[in-house]
Structure 1
Amino acid sequence: MIVDRALRTAVTVLPRRWRTDRRSALVGLTALRPHLGVAGLGVAGLLRLTGLRRTATAVGLAGAAAAAPALRRVLPRPDGPLPDGPELTVLVANVLLGRADTGALAATVTRERPDVVVLPEAGVAYLDRLLPLLGGYRGWSSVPPGVPDQRGTVVLVAPRAGEVDVRPGQGMRLPYLEVTGGLLGARTLYAVHTSAPTNPRWTELWTGELALIGEWTRTRPAPVVAGDLNAVVDHRRLRDASGDCVDATDGTGRGLVGTFPSSLPRWAGIRIDHVLVPRGSVTRRHVVLETPGSDHRAVLVTVRLPGAQDSAR
């Protein structure tokens, strides 16, 4: 199943001529590097059993090299001292063209009470169906009425988040939202959905959009970036885009829990839904939740943020 998905991903992103864009194919394969590394180790074991020791060693070394970077994402680290900033809970759930079950999602929000909810692939139509099920929450869409859900991102804010300012942002193919004020103070939370690098043109857009995120993450105070980034931490573009932020899974030991596609077991999927938080933040909780009706799983994180002065250093 994994190998088949890897091959199909590679074929999808291959350009019509090999010389037009040699890197786009690697985007899809890089997302599966831990899976391919483990598969390589398994193949090496089988080769060794058949007596092909030299070949087994070569394949095993290649598999180990591919899988090694994943080790730090499955080994939790002790928490450091808590910073003196606010505690923030964020839920990210791609709702698949506005098709995710609103009742199930409302139940999750009601149970978990996140301060901010980010819903890629949701617009005004989905917001109008969901918001009446959520007492006290306010909602905004990055696109106006009449625009299909798939082009939008919705943000919901709980009463605890206080009086926030929410405004649309430009610079990505899919409009995003910027949230400031209230619990966030001077810090900005960006609710985003980057282009999927499934062909050369969109790979170029994806590269530029991650570069824009990199500009945000190098501002002071460092922001929170939440949404479907269509990238895994093995992608160099995402690592570069992190700037003065880190993935909220960093140090939790849960960095390999897949959020997409939800049809695969969590260990077999890839994690493209992220919450990037300022360096110095401490993740108090990180869970991956089912989202009925969507091809993504949701990500829920609770982080203690550094104070604005600490972030400005």
Structure 2
Amino acid sequence: MIVDRVLRSAVSVLPRRLRVDRRSALVGLVALRPHLGLAGLGTATALLLARRRRAAAVAGGLGALAAGPALRRLVPHTPAARPQGPELTVLVANVLLGRADPVALAATIVDRRPDVVVLPEAGAAFLGAVLPRSTGYRGWSSVPPGVEDRHGTVVLVSPRAGDVDVRPGRGTRLPHLEVTGGLLGLRTLYAVHTSAPTNPRWTRMWADELALLGRWTRTRPAPLVAGDLNAVADHRRLRDALGGCVDAADGTGDDLVGTYPSSLPRWAGIRIDHVLVPRGSATRRHEVLDIAGSDHRAVLVTVRLPEDQPR
């Protein structure tokens, strides 16, 4: 069941020419591209040991083709110039329909002191459970009381975040929140949970929502986007949506650490939980954290942002 869920939730974007990115039944192979690549390289090694050189060459070539882009993302790199903007810490944790342990999560928040916390699959009920335990934080839900947690996204902000404005956003199936002001300056942080491409209708919504995300990332100054995007770095639609942003995991060596499902080892999962930051940002910290009661792992990043630019 887990394998089926991962496969169906991950492959909607093979190359455009193959015309499969509109079929939810094929949404899985792209997300598993690094795994398939490593499997091909392993098969090539076994064939080589068995003296089957021609078959080994074919398997090795296919494995290298599949794994190459992922392996390139593991190479550490730093910005050409040191950013001069503020430093910001963001925590993203999908709380599984509001079923994650609010006590354990609040303990993590108090211990790590992120400036902004984004909790997909949380609403007013989960906010009411986690906020009183997160000393000093303020919180907002994208859905009103009475709406199930699975439909919402919660944002918490620390005192250090300053005088922020949090407002509901439009354009996504699951209501999102937009955070501006305070430590963010002129930038907007979008707290989002895109549709999971597990059936044809939701696959179309997923594609439309990533296209909307791409419009956000092409504004100035470039925003931050944090949440469960239900897409991996190998998905073309996510790459197209980056605009003036990059993934905070790029160049950290953590690009292949899986955030979903948490029941699998980190090397075996897929990374669908992201913090996208403006190009020119410098990631000082990137951690993947276990969250009690959730089927996702959390992502904690600290980045130094570029200076604001006029809109």
TM band (smaller chain): over 0.9
Counterparts of 2:40 and 2:207 in 1: how far apart (Å)?
Answer: 29
Percent identical among aligned pairs is 73
Alignment map for 1:1-313 (pairs within 5 Å): 5=3, 9-10=7-8, 23-78=23-78, 80-309=80-309
| More moved, 221-230 vs 40-49 | 40-49
Distance in 1 of aligned mates of 2:299 and 2:209: 21
Distance in 2 between residues matched to 1:7 and 1:202, nearest whole Å: 14
- Contact 1:27/1:235 (8 A) holds in 2: no
**C-alpha contact 1:262 1:296 (8 A) present in aligned 2:** yes
Tell me the secondary structure at the aligned position of residue 29 of structure 1. Answer: coil
Measured at CA, do residues 299 and 7 of structure 1 come closer, stay the same or move farther in structure 2, by a change above 3 Å?
A: closer
Give the letter for the 1:116 counterpart: V
How many residues of Structure 1 are paired with residues of Structure 2 in the alignment? 305
Q: Distance in 2 between matches of 1:21 and 1:163?
A: 42
Q: Gapped runs of 5+ residues in structure 2?
A: 13-18
- Deviation, 1:199, is 1.5
User: Cα gap change, 1:8/1:237 in structure 2, threshold over 3 Å: closer, same or farther?
Assistant: closer
CA shift, 1:250, in A, is 1.1
* Mapped partners of 1:302, 1:22: distance in 2: 35
1:23 Cα offset (Å): 4.2
Find the aligned partners of 1:12 and 1:111 in 2 and give their Cα distance: 33
Deviation at 1:79, TM superposition (A): 5.2
Distance (whole Å) between structure 2 residues aligned to residue 81 and residue 127 of structure 1: 39
The alpha-carbon distance between structure 1 residues 11 and 236, as it changes in their structure 2 partners (threshold 3 A), is: closer
C-alpha displacement of 1:77: 1.8
1:173 corresponds to which letter in structure 2? R
What per-residue deviation string (whole Å, max 9, x for no partner) do you get for residues 79-113 of structure 1?
Answer: 54421111100000000000101111011000100
Tell me the distance in 1 between the aligned counterparts of 2:122 and 2:33: 30
Deviation track 1:94-133 (CA, whole Å, cap 9, x = no partner) reads: 0000010111101100010000000000000000011110
Which amino acid in 2 is paired with 1:9? L
Shift of 1:21: 7.3
- The superposition leaves residues 30-51 of structure 1 with CA deviations (integer Å, 9 ceiling, x where unpaired) of 0000000000111122222333
- Distance change (3 Å), C-alpha of 1:8 and 1:120: closer
| Structure 1 unpaired stretches of 5+ | none
**Contact 1:120/1:228 (CA < 8 Å) preserved in 2?**
yes
Summarize deviations over 1:226-252 as a string: whole Å, max 9, x none: 000000000000000011100001111
CA, structure 1 residues 21+76, in 2 after alignment: closer, same or farther (shift >3 Å)?
closer
1:191 aligns to what SS in structure 2? strand
Contact 2:24–2:203 (CA under 8 A) maintained in structure 1: yes
